[in-house]
Chains A and B, each alone.
Chain A
Amino acid sequence: MTGSDLIGIMILAAGLFAIGVFGVLARRGMLFQLVALEVALSGPALGFIAAGAYHADPEGQGMFILVLTLAATEVAVGLALFLRLRRLTGTDDSDAISGLKG
């Protein structure tokens, strides 16, 4: 793997992250936003793995495992909030809960 290969993979990782951000911003259904959040988190994961492979360092894969833990927790909490939202409002529109109740 040469330096230009690393740069190509890093650009792919940034593209994955940008696609995820686009999904979170453009979709209103909360389930689609969670899927987009998963895509967004896989971008940095690819970046860590590529950098770890390039420098022959295990820290890239270590960071990947921490990102994996974060993604699993985030999906569990997000899906619980999604089920709660549907029980509360009957829709899956994340804009339906834009107000707070004291």
Chain B
Amino acid sequence: MSSLLAIYAGAFALISAALSVTRPNAVHSLLYLVVTLLALAVCFFALGAAFAAVLLIMIYAGAIVVLFVFVVMTLPISPEAITRERALLRRAWPLPVLMSVLIVAPFVFGEIGLKATGQPAPVSAQEVGKLLFGPWALAVELASLLLLAGLIGVRHIGRSDRSPRSGS
């Protein structure tokens, strides 16, 4: 429960996230995304949410990044594509930076005057399970419905055009 460690790891995640969204090479971008997620997992662990930290490493840094790596393997990373990506980014950054600053400014100035009171304590996985399968059972069902809709949608989008259309 060291909040200093949590803030340190969170700042590390912030820096590697900024690097991740500005790299012209897709593989470098993914590697910085992994660094961001691992730093966030350290932050979660320091905040006393060990279950969430393990889930973050297993699902985000494991499953989701592996999905990205599979797609990147089908992608030809040529020097021309990297130079094009770099040129595009050099031209297009000022307006998005302005919009992001406008988004984050109310958060920063709204939080500084905040007076919060609470008793921090680590939350165990048992309590999370009791919550999810008790009062939040409907939300879990909706999440499973979302996963089913995603599965059917991906099956439909990824269908090859050459195969005979069946079912739809």
Contact = CB atoms under 8 A, between A and B. Distances in A.
Contact of A25 (B14, B95, B117, B147): B95
Interface residues of B, number: 84
B40 A46 contact: yes
Contacts of B97: 22, 26
B49 A20 contact: no
Interface residues of A, number: 71
Nearest to A38: B33
A81 interface: yes
B21 A19 contact: yes
Interface of B: 1, 3-4, 6-7, 10-11, 13-14, 17-18, 20-22, 26, 29-30, 33, 36-37, 40, 43-44, 47-49, 51-52, 55-56, 59-60, 63-64, 67-68, 71-72, 74-75, 85, 88-89, 92-93, 95-97, 99-101, 103-104, 107-108, 111-112, 114-123, 127-128, 130-132, 136, 139, 143, 146-147, 149-151, 153-154, 157-158
